[in-house]
Amino acid sequence: MTALILLAHGSRHDQTGSVLDGVVKQVRQSLPSPSCGGPSEVRLAWLDLDEPSLDTICAELAASGERSALAVPLLFTNAFHARIDVPAQVSECDAHGIDVTVTEGLGLGDGTRRAVVRRIVEAAQEANFSGPNDALIMAVGSSDVDANQAVHEFAAGLDSMFPGQVTAAFVVGPEQVKGAAAVEAARGRAAMRGRDLVVVPLFTAPGLLWDKVTGGLDGVIGVDGAGADLSASEEPAAPGGRVAFGETLGSLLVPIVCCRWDSRDCRGEWSTRATQGSRSDARPGYLSAEEGTAA
């Protein structure tokens, strides 16, 4: 028997844990029972800032007689946490006699693309925007230039799917214009074209960094679709220029996690086909109900 561990970054935000607990519950409900090839348990562990840690989860699994686990990092890029933190924490689990196999993270493949597209469409609809609208994908950001470039390329790949322009920005990192300032700049570009702007977080769950972005602007429409009076800020000279924030990706990432489990081979090892880019993480049986909304 093998347990499944969702390995999250961690946050001090008071809603992060509850959202990811919900993801764990949905993953558990979506996968087969242990007797039919599903995981013996589905658990949530944190890399930093919260408990339980991966080490604690492995100790608990060992105490219950478990000897192997599959860990899915809830990370979008191959930056510091994926390359350094995850391997270091996995190595500590050897002391508990748990053989932990680490899969590819969430990545920026089909599953994440569908989730982001759905959030863009939802936010525009809730804000009553009439297209075309521009979209800004807001990621955390990294000191790893290649990781940031991967997010820019991800946004560029979405650009052809919408009549408006799709770009990316970051909350932290080396880029000069970031966070709320990047949203303001994107809003200005959209207003010049007579468009509104939808900002969607490349975040698994609410976090303090995302709050910093959403709280940094006047005249926006929040994730609940409630409009704010644009008179609080300078009216754009051209039509458009409104901003709506989408929700974090949350439960829309469940199919990717399920796909990581499904992609093990018959020996219970991580299959190499899932490491060749995240192109096969659209789990057809699960996503069929989502596609009509996301497309």
49 touches 207 (CB < 8 A): no
Helix axis angle, 254-262 to 16-30, nearest 10°: 50
Q: How many CA atoms lie within 13 A of 136 on its CB side?
A: 29
Q: What pLDDT is stored for residue 153 in this prediction?
A: 96
268 touches 38 (CB < 8 A): no
Q: What pLDDT is stored for residue 285 in this prediction?
A: 42
Q: CA–CA separation, 44 vs 50, rounded Å?
A: 11
Q: What pLDDT is stored for residue 270 in this prediction?
A: 41
Q: What is the DSSP string of 218-253?
A: SSEE-TT-----GGGSPPPSSS---EEEPPP-GGGG
Give residues with Cβ within 8 angstroms of 187, minimum separation 6. Answer: 197, 217, 236, 241, 243
- From the first residue on, what is the mean pLDDT of each consecutive set of 10 residues in the chain (295 residues)? 92 88 96 94 90 94 94 91 86 89 94 96 92 93 92 94 92 91 95 94 94 74 40 45 94 96 58 40 43 29
Q: What pLDDT is stored for residue 223 in this prediction?
A: 43
Annotate 40-64 with b (16+ C-beta within 10 A) or e (fewer). Answer: bbbbbbbbeebeebbbebbbbbbee
Burial-class residue 25 by CB neighbours within 10 Å (0-12, 13-18, 19+).
middle
Q: What pLDDT is stored for residue 21 in this prediction?
A: 95
Q: CA–CA separation, 35 vs 32, rounded Å?
A: 8
Q: How many CA atoms lie within 13 A of 62 on its CB side?
A: 14
Domains and their CATH numbers in the chain: 3-107+251-294 (3.40.50.1400), 110-250 (3.40.50)
CB atoms within 10 A of CB 139: 26
